[in-house]
């Protein structure tokens, strides 16, 4: 029976990379019936809203979606369609593998890390108070009363909630992921020496959960600043990293950088019942409609999606096809060439064609 999957092409370069991924996934022979729904700028023009209800309804019904990136409008009230989708569907775990592929230029080889980022709270909860507003002033005075600390009256405030519930859920997810994918070690990253009641709680919960997995998965803890240095110096010492939301976002890009950049960094947002697969990169609006950007991150997100729906053979074949095209470094986009203006660079569509050719062989 065909898998019914929601396809959200996104905006900016989203529709181009989503189309490349759809074609490659279909070329694996996996039976998929796509249900295409529109979110982002095209939805704003067509339906007057960035995230129409039918988008969320479609994912809830089909349980799995492949999504292109969506622009976050600056200063228009709506925080981010991407964050809104994750929150509305309670996709609490963001899984971002960072893996070296031969042919992709990077100072490092043989990197195989997985970032597991908490997706539902922390400074990304969207609880913010603008500078100089009456409610902000009131909040400042209450905080000063309770904390005995002074806050400058012209401050903006962002709230960082980290709960026991969400920490336990993501850390348990990380351990289960490690077991399932036969990974050996989890490093929990935080700044508990400074933020004792938020990062400190994340760490305390982590230590408790780790006890249940003793003898099965190695557990270690690291401070976020030190970890930034360790990852640059000795990335091969690490395996699975579990982090609160903000550090997870930053370290996802750092790890993408370790393996050659955003063009090859796939991702997944996973909840108890639903999963949305998307590249780490954004909608790169300046390249919209130019058939220029690298589709590999989106296609590799498709590989993760195929594994999720238990189409393992199709996933392996597609990953091998991507690996072969990257290794040849011939039919690849500008970002994978020795210089950005290399005339032999191909477009998004042509790189997908080359991957499809490998699948046929």
Contact positions toward ligand NAD, by CB under 6 A? 69-72, 82, 262-263, 278, 281-286, 293-294, 297, 335
Cα–Cα distance for residue pair 7/26, rounded to 1 Å: 13
Shortest reach from residue 76's CB to ligand NAD, in Å: 11
In angstroms, what CA-CA distances link 25 with 274, 298, 345?
20, 11, 23
Cα–Cα distance for residue pair 96/177, rounded to 1 Å: 12
If the CB atoms of residues 54 and 80 are measured against ligand NAD, the closer one turns out to be 80
Cα–Cα distance for residue pair 150/16, rounded to 1 Å: 50
If the CB atoms of residues 9 and 244 are measured against ligand NAD, the closer one turns out to be 9
Of the candidates 67, 99, 191, 358, the residue annotated as catalytic is 191
Of the candidates 124, 177, 238, 334, the residue annotated as catalytic is 124
Q: Hey, which residues does 64 pair with through a beta bridge?
A: 275
Q: Which helix (H) or strand (E) holds 66?
A: strand 64-67
**Radius of gyration, alpha carbons of the chain:** 21
Cα–Cα distance for residue pair 230/236, rounded to 1 Å: 10
Shortest reach from residue 122's CB to ligand NAD, in Å: 17
Exposure string over 23-52, b if 16+ CB within 10 A, otherwise e: bbbbbbebebebeebbbbbbbbeeeeebbb
Among the listed residues 81, 122, 80, 117, the one whose alpha carbon sits nearest the alpha carbon of residue 97: 117
Shortest reach from residue 49's CB to ligand NAD, in Å: 17
Of the candidates 122, 249, 292, 358, the residue annotated as catalytic is 249
Shortest reach from residue 275's CB to ligand NAD, in Å: 14
Q: Can 249 be counted among the known catalytic residues?
A: yes
If the CB atoms of residues 88 and 223 are measured against ligand NAD, the closer one turns out to be 88
In angstroms, what CA-CA distances link 200 with 169, 197, 207, 301?
16, 5, 11, 33
Q: Can 247 be counted among the known catalytic residues?
A: no
Q: Can 124 be counted among the known catalytic residues?
A: yes
If the CB atoms of residues 158 and 290 are measured against ligand NAD, the closer one turns out to be 290
Q: Can 191 be counted among the known catalytic residues?
A: yes
The closest residue (CB) to ligand NAD is 282
If the CB atoms of residues 169 and 292 are measured against ligand NAD, the closer one turns out to be 292
Shortest reach from residue 97's CB to ligand NAD, in Å: 16
Give me the active site residues, please. 124, 191, 225, 249
């Amino acid at each position: 029976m065909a898998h019914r999957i929601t396809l959200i092409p996104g905006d900016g370069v989203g529709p181009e990379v989503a189309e490349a991924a759809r074609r490659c996934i279909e070329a694996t022979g996996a039976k998929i019936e796509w249900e295409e729904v529109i979110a982002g700028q095209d939805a704003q023009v067509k339906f007057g809203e960035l995230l129409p209800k039918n988008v969320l309804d479609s994912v809830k019904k089909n349980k799995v979606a492949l999504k292109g990136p969506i622009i976050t409008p600056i200063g228009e009230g709506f925080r981010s369609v991407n964050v809104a989708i994750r929150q509305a569907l309670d996709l609490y775990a963001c899984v971002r593998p960072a893996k070296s592929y031969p042919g992709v230029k990077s100072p490092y080889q043989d990197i195989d890390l997985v970032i597991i980022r908490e997706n539902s709270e922390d400074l990304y909860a969207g609880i913010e108070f603008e500078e100089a507003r009456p409610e902000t002033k009131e909040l400042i005075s209450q905080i000063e009363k309770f904390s005995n600390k002074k806050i400058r009256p012209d401050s903006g405030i962002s709230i960082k909630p980290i709960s026991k519930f969400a920490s336990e859920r993501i850390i348990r997810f990380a351990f289960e992921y490690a077991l399932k994918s036969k990974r050996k070690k989890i490093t929990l990253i935080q700044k508990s020496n400074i933020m004792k009641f938020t990062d400190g709680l994340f760490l305390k919960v982590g230590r408790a959960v780790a006890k249940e997995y003793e003898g099965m998965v190695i557990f270690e803890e690291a401070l976020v600043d030190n970890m930034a240095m360790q990852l640059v110096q000795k990335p091969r010492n690490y395996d699975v990293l579990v982090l609160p939301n903000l550090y997870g976002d930053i370290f996802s890009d750092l790890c993408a950088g370790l393996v050659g950049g955003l063009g090859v960094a796939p991702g997944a947002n996973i909840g108890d019942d639903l999963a949305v697969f998307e590249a780490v990169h954004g909608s790169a609006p300046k390249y919209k409609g130019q058939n220029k950007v690298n589709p590999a991150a989106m296609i590799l997100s498709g590989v993760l999606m195929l594994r999720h729906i238990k189409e393992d053979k199709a996933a392996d074949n597609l990953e091998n096809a991507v690996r072969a095209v990257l290794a040849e470094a011939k039919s690849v986009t500008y970002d994978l060439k020795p210089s950005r203006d290399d005339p032999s660079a191909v477009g998004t569509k042509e790189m997908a064609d080359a991957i499809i050719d490998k699948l046929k062989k």
